């Protein structure tokens, strides 16, 4: 039975499973999307998935570890180091916008999101069987998706979740997830086109900026490996309601203020190793060496790859895998809750590092040098 699960997932990737003619893809607002064969098959064959799914995969087969590999292709904008990109002509203005809220009040808080605004991540290999799914917004899925009743979304109203088939490069993105009476209910749910291991472009139905959930998400495996080789994702309060820039693919809240930050804007830290070391030494002595090492890895990534504005939130938040799906891993990496002199860790771990004099902005990704533009 476990073999049937692998065959079904592989058939979605390769397009070899055929049980009906392809159906047309839905129209997501003004954005043009193209359904891949695997999406058509997901929809057309939904009723037959149960016959291919094993009710329960043998635990020893599910436990096989998949080595961490950086997702997305080398020219995905978030995987391109900032050393290859010139600074934005209006860098100073864009940096200043980071430090104000929509009402014009000063905002200097930058925080790590491990709870609300984070993303829970699960492996399709640990699905116990198919579950029907219903969504509020249009979707490229009907029928059933890989599911395990033990899976929970990230906390908070967004209730975000990612399901990954690591073997075949499939990514399901879901928001406001609630599993009741054997049905997965979600505000949005989609199978991202292509292969997340090689994709280099956005997908309009995914989050506010139209970039897949998995892109730029910080996960425990890369911290354990000692390096984050991609930009980070940041949601901000002061997002533009007037424009967006590549790699963002849509404007989520039109008719808003013009003084906000366009979704898709990229920033980075301008700091030396010595300055990072000085910042680490100034962190409270109560923080463990493991916490400091994790902080160093984050700081280096913010310098070498920077971050993109990808969504709206109540503050400036860097997105990490949710503790709902990775609590033990984060604890082992020093990201346990503690309050030191009225400062909350790990939430405020990067406080004092992200200051306006250390940050620069970069042009849209469709203006990168030709050798580094997404394909």
Residue 209 near residue 250, CB atoms below 8 Å: yes
111: exposed, middle or buried (C-beta count within 10 Å: 0-12, 13-18, 19+)? Answer: buried
pLDDT tens series, the chain, 375 aa: 444 445 545 545 544 333 333 333 333 333 333 334 354 344 434 444 433 344 334 433 443 456 788 999 999 999 999 999 999 999 999 999 999 888 788 888 899 999 999 999 999 999 999 999 999 999 999 789 999 999 999 999 999 999 999 999 999 999 999 999 999 999 999 999 999 999 999 999 999 999 999 999 999 999 999 999 999 999 998 999 999 999 999 998 786 667 899 999 999 999 999 999 999 999 999 999 999 999 999 999 999 999 999 999 988 999 999 999 999 999 999 999 999 999 999 999 998 999 999 999 999 999 999 999 987
Write down the pLDDT at residue 327: 98
Write down the pLDDT at residue 6: 55
The alpha helices in the chain, defined as continuous H runs, are: 2-14, 37-44, 49-52, 59-62, 91-97, 220-225, 273-282, 289-304, 323-332
What pTM did the predictor assign? 0.85
């Amino acid at each position: 039975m476990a073999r049937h699960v692998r065959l079904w997932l592989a058939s979605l990737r390769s397009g070899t499973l055929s049980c009906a003619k392809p159906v047309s893809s839905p129209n997501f607002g003004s954005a043009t999307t193209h359904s891949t064969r695997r999406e058509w098959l997901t929809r057309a064959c939904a009723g037959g998935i149960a016959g291919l799914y094993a009710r329960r995969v043998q635990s020893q087969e599910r436990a096989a570890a998949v080595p961490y590999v950086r997702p997305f292709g080398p020219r995905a904008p978030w995987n391109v180091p900032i050393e290859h990109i010139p600074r934005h002509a209006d860098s100073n203005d864009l940096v200043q916008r980071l430090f104000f809220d929509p009402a014009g009040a000063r905002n200097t808080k930058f925080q790590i999101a491990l709870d609300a605004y984070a993303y829970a991540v699960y492996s399709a290999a640990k699905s116990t069987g198919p579950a029907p799914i219903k969504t509020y917004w249009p979707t490229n899925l009907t029928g059933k998706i890989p599911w395990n009743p033990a899976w929970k979304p990230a906390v908070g109203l967004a209730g975000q979740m990612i399901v990954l088939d690591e073997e075949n490069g499939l990514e399901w993105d879901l928001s406001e997830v609630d599993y009741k009476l054997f049905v997965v209910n979600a505000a949005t749910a989609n199978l991202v086109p292509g292969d997340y291991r090689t994709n280099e472009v956005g997908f309009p139905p995914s989050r506010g900026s139209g970039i897949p959930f998995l892109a730029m998400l910080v996960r425990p495996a890369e911290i354990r490996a000692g390096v984050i080789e991609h930009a980070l994702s940041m949601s901000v309060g002061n997002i533009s309601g007037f424009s967006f820039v590549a790699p963002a693919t849509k404007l989520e809240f039109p008719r808003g203020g013009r003084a906000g930050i366009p979704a898709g804007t990229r920033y980075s830290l301008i700091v030396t190793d010595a300055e990072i070391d000085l910042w680490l030494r100034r962190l409270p002595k109560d923080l463990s060496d493991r916490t400091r090492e994790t902080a160093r890895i984050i700081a280096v990534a913010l310098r070498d790859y920077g971050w993109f504005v990808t969504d709206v939130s109540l503050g400036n938040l860097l997105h990490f895998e949710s503790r709902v799906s990775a609590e033990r891993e984060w604890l082992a990496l020093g990201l346990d809750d503690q309050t030191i002199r009225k400062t909350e860790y790990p939430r405020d771990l990067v406080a004092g590092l992200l200051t306006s004099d250390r940050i620069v902005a970069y042009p849209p990704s469709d203006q990168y040098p030709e050798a580094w533009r997404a394909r």
